[in-house]
Amino acid sequence: MMFPDTILQRLRQAQRIVFFTGAGVSAESGISTFRDHADGLWGKFDPMEVATPFAFAANPQKVWDWYSQRADVVRKAVPNAGHRAIAQLSPIKNVEVITQNVDNLHQAAGSPSVLELHGNLFRLKPFFDKEELSEGGRTPIICPACGGLAASDMVDAFGCKDDLQGIELVAGPVPRCPCCNTLMRPGVVWFYETLDNSVLDAAEASVIECDVLICVGSSLEVQPAASLPFLAKQNGSLIVEVNPQPTSLSEIADATLVGSAAEVLPLLMREVWGVTEGGMP
């Protein structure tokens, strides 16, 4: 038995359930986390050199190469039993997934509603160097193809959106928007950048309203994402944490399930909601 009766009852009665996930939920799909001591990405690479707008402005090719290598790993990955367990609950409960991951694996597992706080590796976006613009004193206009800021004299209004959509995050030279020629970058949020307001607002609304928040595989070290489970707690939600290691949330969580996502989440689904891999029992 995973839970005392009182918690089990609250879980079963819950209508709105939020899964708040981090890199740990994808670890068993073969995607490295950021801060695990053995093979966390930020132990091997300096995020200041590969994950900031300044790094990209200084050396776009280095950043592109780093992300295209990550994209190769992510493209080969498939959802694990943890992603699948979350997706299996969606048809019977009001489930929202709020993820910090950029790997598409919740969507691939079939979760219908996923808020991507840190963007998506495969949705490229234009890079615009704000300093360059202000120095040049140019009036920016929006490029009709990539939707980014572009210097007016560079924009080809007949530039083709299809060409833009054909550009992928793969090894090679950093691609440019076929319309305004600006450099393209992965559609993720970097350090020193702000989250998409509409996504953050939706995530906040969702955690304020939820009955239960289940936090899976996040170290909760990056703001503002990390504050969301605490916001849920302040608003009276039941908090469950799934993580092999303790975090700052463990102290205030109503239940802490120590273990990996792929092991614990299927058990949780079966014990609490009677959901199994093959469907309802």
Sites of contact with ligand OAD (CB under 6 A): 22-24, 27-28, 33-36, 40, 51, 100, 118, 189, 216-219, 221-222, 242-245, 247, 260-261
User: Which residue number, 33 or 237, has a Cβ lying nearer to ligand OAD?
Assistant: 33
Element (H, E) at 98: strand 94-99
Cα of first residue to Cα of last residue in the chain, in angstroms, is 18
Q: How far is the CB of 141 from ligand OAD (least distance, A)?
A: 29
State the minimum distance, in angstroms, from the CB of residue 255 to ligand OAD.
15
User: Which of 37, 83, 106, 118 is labelled catalytic?
Assistant: 118
CA angle 28, 248, 200 (to 5 degrees): 75
The verdict on whether 118 is a catalytic residue reads yes
Sign of the four-CA dihedral 235, 238, 244, 250: positive
Q: How far is the CB of 152 from ligand OAD (least distance, A)?
A: 32
Q: Are 96 and 113 in contact (CB under 8 A)?
A: yes
Q: Which CB sits closer to ligand OAD, 75 or 176?
A: 75
Cα torsion 219, 223, 229, 231 to 10°: value is 160
CB environment 174-212: b (16+ within 10 A), e (fewer): bbbbbbbbbbbbbbbbbeeeebbeebbebbbebbeebbb
User: Smaller CB distance to ligand OAD: residue 16 or 35?
Assistant: 35
Cβ closer to ligand OAD: 221 or 277? Answer: 221
Query: Nearest distance from residue 70's CB to ligand OAD, in Å?
Result: 10
Using Cβ positions, the residue closest to ligand OAD within the complex turns out to be 24
Catalytic residues: 118
